[in-house]
A and B are shown apart, each in its own frame.
Chain A
């Protein structure tokens, strides 16, 4: 199975500081893959490298073609990035957030897409006119995912969806991710601090340390791995 997304020896830096020292990973179509690691290991930077938010070097390929350019180009290529901290447009309404999600699509009406997305998040229709900044943290996270879905992406990049959210809501979000993957065949690459729930949702995972891939394998393998258990799963 050829990979949908391929990274080979990808490096990235923030000014003089090098954050990624050569990341190699693949994500196949219809897979859910997790990226784990401690703070500062480079998980968020990896997603930023993919979406072009940070300058990167090395080989990145998406659907067989090299992935170049900034975030605008990457979005057009079919990758939706839900950044750390949700990235909702807090000053705009829920509906406007969704319309923006569909920005790269050429259809005149996004009505059908909003309905489709509302199937996963039923409260969207009621709150369409509400300012996004007044939503709760969990709702904003769901809005961010909904917005990403509006673009009908081939790959969804999720950055730390559990950040600042109550466990119940986190479970709900990951349940939706799993269902999106199973029902719609959505490919997902999720970065997560909460290794437990990530490994329960994803099929495979990579563990990053200091800007490099330290471990990789199926979720089952990693769950049984001694050091992973001690460092990230707490037992």
Chain B
């Protein structure tokens, strides 16, 4: 039975070992101080136990040097922990530029994953080994959270905005993917799997599935369906700005401020069009809140991105 009690999850990503190393340091410090306190407690408890009711120990008020010592040493250790943890955190905060971009939508109570080439999965995510993977997260309803213990990553999927999380898998195999933010009745059922394959296997898997519409194509279809070209003419003569080459640029707004045209801005422009109106245009765009799902939003964004001159995969 005892061999069934593991202490660490598998280390299956580039940062897992680093996190475990820091964790081991924290455990070491805790064992040291915990053990020290327990040892002193036990020692004093035995050595100074009351032997007669008349005992009146000498009062000891305190010792400034001791106070400074046991304030200073924990403070120093705390700073070591802070810097170590902050360092790891900042170093891993931004995904590498060549990351494979997966779009994920969490909804009660399932995960939907969209590969850039078109493959779609539910509750399962196939990724290649040794290649950074960046997941852009959205939620259809409440707050969810993508948690892959073997990779030591976690990020909330917050409705109304996009969040991102990235990892690079270092082992093939199947790993748990949990929803780690309570989201209602079947929160515990929102379990998925991450399947890590060698790059060649991954390619095979991608091409092996039934030919699926790529998000760009689906986005273009939605774009037509919802009537966007009525105002957003490609030649720029429409009531709304042309979207060709727009993604990634800096856009000046009516108020004089500037904003980078990224996923979040495009999403906001579709759902709350008059929050940040481009300069030279009137706030005439209607909202599409309620008419388009998070998947749909991802697809339109993919389409608009494809219209820009530097096509990123």
- Judge: A and B partners, yes or no: no
